[in-house]
Structure 1
């Protein structure tokens, strides 16, 4: 059984409140990490846990920025300068002050999430803006922010020795919005991990590459 945007019951909307909940759940869980664990790799990523939080913060900031101009760009990103602090590290606008420690790092994450939450709440649903996977709308950027938050927090939980099992409803709504062809009869969190190349689903090959579909939907 597969979801279809053109059949079945109305698709549940992804909201700014959903995004806020995802960010707050992530920040709350990450605060439980041992202070000395942040230099280890985040799951299978080549970045350490500190860099991964910076990357996630940067994603949320960048999505907010795309919606920010009165006429958002449709052909490219708002031209900030993205830089990496080491070869192989993530290229970000957002970098946290290491002297502020993990608590400061998580404040950066929370603040970046709040920027996107505010933009989603205050931007007209008719607004369109560029994303590398295609032009999207505020709901699409909210859903993207949730996926980034949920899956990168999973990467971080693996590196930090934490458990992480986000709410099924959040996962279901972003699957319907960004992965409309994903199976609809499997566990939503397992399905989201599978759809983003991070997990297995019985009877289905693991994706070797993946991308979401941010196209505005009815």
Structure 2
């Protein structure tokens, strides 16, 4: 397991995000067609809504980087609306008539948007996020965490197995959760940091947020 210095030296790349989305979509394609209305793990949303929420997150991060002068004090003003009380407030919704295959195509497309923006946006760009004004690498890390942890929620609801590769999880922890333990395996630690699992010897996380602020070389905290 890499130590703190090794973690902070590692960078999240667009390829990490691309692979996370690819693996998630491939896993979700194995879901039973009649399982999508069940709850996604411990979330209050069903599995269909959770995929829409994840696609919406990836879309929102992509468009936040899009303007020539990205906003530093708020979101790009799309309209986010829930389709039912208690449902996720999204700008992105999949056509139910397209079925699960169409839903996953929406997820794949939104992931591709964020991957493309991370690859083509200057690393000097800064854009607003509620958890800290960030850079393209930060938005890639956010997208990766959203993808792998919501794939975990979905796998629980759909009866699937899911475990992403350890290395990008370690890089995401270093980028967004710089105070997380470094002596525990990355994937269980990421689940613990996002309130989804126990970690031996540490109290369960009940409220959490990442630190999206920009890092400088050799630092674990905000720049």
Q: TM > 0.5 between the two?
A: yes
Q: CA deviation at 1:109?
A: 0.1
Matched, 1:33 2:31: yes
Whole-angstrom distance in 1 between the partners of 2:96 and 2:176: 34
- Residue 169 of structure 2 corresponds to which residue in structure 1? 171
How far apart are residue 167 of structure 1 and its match?
A: 0.2
Equivalent in the alignment of 1:81: 79
Q: For 2:7 and 2:121, how far apart are their aligned partners in 1?
A: 26
Deviation at 1:8, TM superposition (A): 5.8
| 1:40-79 correspondence runs (5 A) | 40-79=38-77
Tell me how far apart the structure 2 counterparts of residues 184 and 168 of structure 1 sit (CA, whole Å): 13
- Aligned CA RMSD, in angstroms, stands at 1.4
Q: What is the distance in 1 between the residues matched to 2:211 and 2:135?
A: 12
Contact 2:195/2:206 (CA < 8 Å) preserved in 1?
A: yes
Q: Deviations over 1:161-211 (max 9, x none)?
A: 000011000110100110111011101100000000000110000111001
Question: Match of 2:214?
Answer: 216
Q: Does 1:115 align with 2:113?
A: yes
2: CA distance between counterparts of 1:2 and 1:18? Answer: 18
CA shift digits 1:125-183 (9 cap, x unpaired): 00000001110000000000000000000000000000001100011010011011101
Structure-1 separation of matches of 2:156 and 2:132: 30
- Following superposition, which runs of at least 4 residues in structure 1 exceed 3 angstroms of deviation? 1-4, 7-10
TM-score with structure 1 setting the length: 0.96
| 1:99 counterpart = 2:97 | yes
Give aligned pairs, total: 216
Are the counterparts in 2 of residues 3 and 176 from structure 1 also a CA contact under 8 Å? no
Partners of 1:23 and 1:45 in 2: CA distance: 20
